[in-house]
Amino acid sequence: MYVCLCHGFTDSQVRDVVATGCTSVSDVYRRLGDLPQCRKCVPEVCALVRQGRLDCPDAVWMEAAE
């Protein structure tokens, strides 16, 4: 499903970049499309980042933050 129509990225793409170490909404936008434009997608991207944190062991997030 498309999450951001301005940049044309999907929930799968967000999950993929979160799985590779993006730890914040800002990280996701930098990786997928620069900056949010209309900002309607920010809550969904935020939810996907949070979900990724819950699905991933703490050790991986601590390594990504360093």
Structure tokens at 39: 């900002």
Structure tokens at 23: 């730890």
CATH code: domain of residue 60: 1.10.10.1100
Q: How many CB atoms lie within 10 A of CB 28?
A: 27
Provide the pLDDT for residue 61: 43
The reported pTM is 0.77
| Amino acid sitting at position 30 | R
Provide the pLDDT for residue 16: 94
Contact at 8 Å (CB) between 22 and 45? no
Domain containing 30 equals: 2-65
pLDDT for 13-62, tens place per residue? 999 999 998 889 999 999 998 788 899 999 999 999 999 877 655 544 44
3-class secondary structure, 3: strand
Domain total for the chain?
Answer: 1
| Amino acid sitting at position 65 | A
Q: Give the H/E segment covering residue 10.
A: strand 9-10
